[in-house]
Amino acid sequence: MTNRTLRTLALAAVALAAVQAFAADLKVGVVSSLSGPIAALGIPYEKGMRAALAQYPTIAGHKVQLIVLDDASDPTTAGRNARKLAVDDKVDVLIGTSGVPGAMAIAAVARETNTPLISPTPVVIPGDEGAWTVTVSQPFGLMVSAVVDQMKKSGVKTVAYIGFSDALGDLAYDSLVQAAKPAGIEVVANERYARSDSSVAGQVLKIVAKRPDAVFAGNSGTPGALPYLALAERGYKGRIYGTHGLINADFVRVGGSAIEGLQVPSGPVLVADQLPDSNPIKKVSLAFRDAYQKANGAAPVDAFSAYTYDAYLVLMDAAARAKGEPGTPEFRKSLRDAIVTTRELVGTHGVYNFKPDDRYGSDQRAVVIVRMEKGQWKLVP
C-alpha cells in the first residue's frame, strides 16, 4: 500500500469521525405517569423505554437522547410537559402518556408544534387534529369486541358496565355498547367513578340489583380493582370482564381473590411463550423480555412496558426511512410521514400497519383473551 493511499485512508477516517462527532442526536421526549393514581401504568411505560434504549442506543446512525418527564397522572401537566419537550428541548418525537385524557392533551400539543407522537395509550382524534399522532395500543373497539365474543360463547345475555368518569370510561362504554348489540347482549347499567375515588359501593349496589349475567369494567391500573373488590363483598357470582388496562402487577396484588376468573383482552406478548414458533410476534416478544430483564434487573410482569418498547420499534423503522437531520422541522415532518406509512412491522403486541388517516395500526393478530387463575394470567384457548 502506497503512502498516498495511506494518507487518503487516514483523511477519510478523520472525516468520518468528524461527521459522527457532529451528527445530531435524535431526541425522544417521553411523558409518563411516574406518580399519582395511574403510576402503575406509567412506571412500566418508562421501564419499557429504558429497555428499548439499552438494546438500541442508536437509531439510523444517531445517538438517542431520552428525556423523561413525570405528569403525576394529571392531563394538564401532561400537556405542559409535552409543550416543554417540543418547544424548549426540541425533541424529534413524543411518546406518552399513561392515561387517555393525558394522551389527548399531548396529541393536541403534537399537532400544534408539528411533532410526531407515538402514543402507548388509546387515542381517538379524527381528521387533521390527529394528523401527527399514532398509537401502538390496540383500539378499544378491537379489544372489547374480543371480550364480547367471549361473553357470547359463555351464554351471557345481560351485562352491567362500570368505568372511569373520564375519556377512557367513555371509550370503553361506547365500545361495549357497539359490540354487545349485534351479539344479542343487553347492557343494563352504566355506572361511573373517578380514578381517585376510594369506594364504589353505591354504584355496585345498583349493579347487583339488576342481577346481570356479567359485569364489564372500563378502567385501568390499580384503581381498576375497586369494582371487583366491591362485587366480591356483595357476593356477586356472575362473570367478570375488563379491559387490557388491568394487566399489571399492582392491580393483581390489590385485586387478590376478588379478581379470580376475571377475563380481559391482551396483546400476545403476555403469553409469548405459548405462541407457536411460526408466529413472528413470539420472537420479538421474547427479545423484549430479555432486553427488559437486562435493563431493569427483573422480568416484566405487565403488558404496559411492551407498548413503549413497540413505540420505540416504530420510531426505529420510521427514522431509517426519514429524510433530513434530527432537530429540524424537515426531519420531524419526514419522520411523521414515515411513521404513518409503516407496513407489516412486527412488535410485541401485534403487527403494525399505519395509514395517514388512521390512528391505530393493529389488527386481529394483536388480540388474545387471558383469564386470572390464582394470581397468574392464563391464555384462554
Q: What is the pLDDT of residues 219-233, one digit of tens each?
A: 998 999 999 999 999
Q: How many domains are contained in the chain?
A: 2
- Determine, yes or no, domain membership for 318: yes
Distance CA 369, CA 377 (A): 10
Report the distance separating Cα 245 and Cα 327, nearest Å.
34
Per-residue pLDDT tens for 349-376? 999 999 988 889 999 999 999 999 999 9
Answer yes or no: do 125 and 151 share one domain.
no
Q: What backbone torsions phi and psi does residue 323 show, to the nearest 5 degrees?
A: -110, 155
Q: Are strands 239-241 and 117-119 parallel, antiparallel or unpaired?
A: unpaired
Look at residue 124 in the predicted model and tell me its pLDDT: 76
Whether 380 is covered by a domain: the verdict is: no
Cis peptide before 97 (omega within 30 of 0): yes
Residues 43 and 18 in one domain: yes
Instruction: Confirm whether 257 is domain-assigned.
Output: yes
Name the one residue in this structure whose C-alpha cell is 418527564.
Answer: 69
Same domain, 181 and 231: yes
How many helices and strands, by DSSP H and E, does the chain display? 12, 15
150 and 99 in one domain?
A: no
CATH number of the domain bearing residue 99: 3.40.50.2300
190 lies in which domain range? Answer: 140-266
Domain boundary among 204, 231, 266: 266
Residue 379 lies in a domain: no
150 & 229 share domain: yes
C-alpha cell at 96: 406518552
pLDDT band at 18 (very low <50, low <70, confident <90, very high): very low
Residue 278: CB atoms within 10 Å: 6
pTM of the entire structure? 0.82
Q: Provide the sign of the torsion angle of the four alpha carbons 358, 364, 365, 371, taken in this order.
A: positive
The answer to whether position 161 is within a domain reads yes
